[in-house]
């Protein structure tokens, strides 16, 4: 690689990982590197991931310094990323980022910036860091404004977050919608060996705004369905499930809940495909209402042909449309009732799942998402 890279993708995220964000990075970065004949991927390491990899024309570098404070760590990542980009200043044409800490060093190179806003730290961080002061959030918003207003293109996965980035200074004619997607798994995936006969499934992380507690409470109301299990495919470690496990015990359902932690992405598809229903119980928090998301778990459930029961929120309606069952968020009794009805009507369930799968196949596979991103790259290259 004597000539330097023409493209770089930066993410303050561990990659790869079992989280939805990693699936997203995988496909977006692949499109970038395909178009630019390779490139540099700057991500977080740790967990035994190598600090350096060379895969054909792609170089992967991982930040693995141990910096306990999150803000210090984010800034350390920024400075590190600036050093990774420095040798490529003369050749870099486009940097694709996901957060302000990737955007800052990318802007410094002078390359075209594509800012993919899946979430906003000023909205997201208070959930994990409840002591954050309003004045600090104000500074984060300023930082977001600084980066978003300088981006040649801002890519958003939903209309909900589109409003949030416009509110933070992104130019309206530069914001592009690229919904997430999923690839239908091959037909006839074998049932996982340890799968219960009949189960509901939840796939994803376990932050409070995901609403897994609501699902557990709903599940407790289905205690009469003694053959029904709940499988939680958690993208995070068992440590993080402790409060929810205690809740399951208190609710008396612990023996019917199966916890799977950090399953490789390829294995989750089989669990999804053989479930009776997939549940996405997101809560009606500002995080979900104002910032939004494009939940990969919903896309992947649809792609697997498994009927989805999900919270009736704008972000979910965007994804699921008419192809699933919407229920009011944060209402265990209503969630339980919707699940019970669908369990009683296997034909309706099958029909919903089939329709959802066709919907994904015809417009929302990762190939479709990559095509939409390709248009964005073409647009900014022609500017």
Partner 1 sequence: MTPCTVTTGFFTLGKCGVMAVAGCPACQRPLCAGHITESGLCPECAAARNQVGHPAAAAAYRRRMHRHRTAGEYQDAGWYAGFDAYDRSAFDPGAGAQQDYLDDGDDALVDS
By the rule CB under 8 A, 86 interacts with partner 1: yes
Beta carbon of residue 100, minimum distance to partner 1 (angstroms, whole number): 8
Question: Is position 57 an interface residue for partner 1 (rule: CB under 8 A)?
Answer: no
* Binding of partner 1 by 98 (CB under 8 A): yes
Task: Examine residue 364 and say whether the peptide bond preceding it is cis (omega within 30 degrees of 0).
Answer: no
Among 44, 175, 201, 352, binds partner 1 (CB under 8 A): 44
> Smaller CB distance to partner 1: residue 229 or 373?
373
**From candidates 8, 95, 104, 273, binder to partner 1 by CB under 8 A:** 104
191: burial class by Cβ within 10 Å (0-12, 13-18, 19+)? exposed
Residue 53 sits in the site that holds partner 1 (CB under 8 A): yes
The answer to whether the CB of 88 falls within 8 A of the CB of 8 is yes
Q: Which of 66, 187, 224, 226 binds partner 1 (CB under 8 A)?
A: 66
What are the residues facing 62 on neighbouring strands?
Answer: 43
Contact pick of 51, 57, 333, 341 for partner 1 (by CB under 8 A): 51
Q: In which residue are the tokens 């984060």 written?
A: 140
By beta-carbon proximity to partner 1, the closer residue of 55 and 378 is 55
Is residue 134 a contact residue for partner 1 (CB under 8 A)? no
**Nearest by Cα to 116 from 32, 46, 37, 52:** 32
Residue 132: CB minimum distance to partner 1, A: 4
Q: Choose one: 213-221, 231-239, 320-328, 371-379; the region binding partner 1 (CB under 8 A).
A: 231-239
Indicate which single residue of 7, 20, 168, 203 sits in contact with partner 1 (rule: CB under 8 A): 20
The residues in 283-302 that bind partner 1, with binding defined as CB under 8 A, are 293-296
Residue-by-residue DSSP string for 55-115: ETTEEEEEE----SSHHHHHHHHHHHHHHHHGGGTTT--EEEESSHHHHHHHHHHT-EEEE
Beta strands at 175-177 and 52-55: parallel, antiparallel or unpaired: unpaired
The residue within the footprint of partner 1, chosen from 42, 125, 233, 309 (CB under 8 A), is 125
Regarding 128 and contact with partner 1 (CB under 8 A), the answer is yes
Measure the CA–CA gap between 195 and 301, rounded to whole angstroms. Answer: 17
- Asked if residue 371 binds partner 1 (CB under 8 A), the reply is no
Indicate the SS3 state at residue 53.
strand
Select 130 or 382, whichever has its Cβ closest to partner 1: 130
311 touches partner 1 by CB under 8 A: no
What span, in angstroms and rounded, lies between the C-alpha atoms of 303 and 306?
Answer: 8
Does 272 participate in binding partner 1 (rule CB under 8 A)?
A: no
Identify the residue among 172, 173, 193, 266 touching partner 1 (CB under 8 A): 266
The string of DSSP codes covering 282-337 is ----HIIIII----HHHHHHHHTT--EEEE--HHHHHHHTTSSEEE-TT-HHHHHH
> Does 135 help bind partner 1 (rule: CB under 8 A)?
yes
Kindly state whether residue 61 participates in binding partner 1, applying the rule CB under 8 A. Answer: yes
């Amino acid at each position: 690689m004597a000539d330097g890279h023409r493209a770089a993708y930066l993410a303050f995220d561990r990659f790869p990982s079992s989280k939805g964000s990693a699936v997203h990075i995988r496909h977006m970065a692949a499109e970038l590197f395909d178009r630019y004949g390779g490139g540099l991927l700057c991500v977080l390491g740790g967990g035994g991931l190598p600090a350096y990899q060379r895969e054909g024309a792609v170089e992967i570098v991982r930040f693995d310094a141990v910096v306990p404070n999150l803000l210090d760590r984010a800034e350390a990542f920024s400075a590190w990323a600036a050093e990774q980009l420095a040798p490529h200043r003369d050749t870099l044409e486009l940097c694709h980022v996901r957060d302000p800490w990737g955007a800052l060093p990318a802007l410094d190179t002078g390359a075209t910036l594509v800012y993919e806003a899946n979430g906003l730290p000023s909205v997201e961080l208070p959930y994990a860091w409840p002591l954050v002061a309003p004045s600090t959030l104000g500074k984060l918003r300023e930082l977001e404004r600084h980066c978003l207003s300088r981006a040649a293109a801002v890519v958003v996965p939903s209309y909900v977050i589109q409003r949030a980035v416009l509110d933070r200074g992104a130019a309206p004619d530069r914001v592009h919608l690229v919904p997430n997607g999923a690839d239908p798994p091959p037909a006839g995936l074998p049932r996982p060996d340890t799968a219960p006969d009949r189960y509901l499934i939840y796939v994803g992380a376990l932050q409070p705004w995901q609403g897994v507690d609501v699902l557990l409470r709903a599940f407790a109301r289905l205690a009469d369905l003694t053959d029904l299990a709940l499988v939680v495919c958690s993208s995070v470690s068992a440590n993080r499930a402790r409060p929810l496990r205690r809740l399951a015990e208190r609710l008396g359902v612990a023996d019917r809940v199966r916890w799977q932690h950090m399953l490789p992405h390829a294995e989750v598809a089989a669990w999804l495909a053989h479930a009776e229903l997939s549940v996405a119980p997101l809560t009606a928090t500002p995080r979900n209402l104002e910032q939004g998301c494009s939940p990969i778990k919903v896309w992947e459930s649809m792609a697997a042909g498994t009927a989805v029961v999900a919270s009736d929120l704008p972000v979910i309606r965007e994804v699921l449309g008419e192809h699933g069952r919407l229920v009011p968020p944060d209402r265990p009794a209503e969630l339980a009732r919707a699940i019970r009805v669908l369990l009683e009507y296997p034909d309706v369930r099958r029909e919903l799942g089939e329709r959802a799968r066709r919907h994904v196949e015809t417009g929302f596979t990762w190939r479709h998402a990559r095509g939409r991103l390709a248009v964005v790259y073409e647009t900014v290259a022609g500017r």
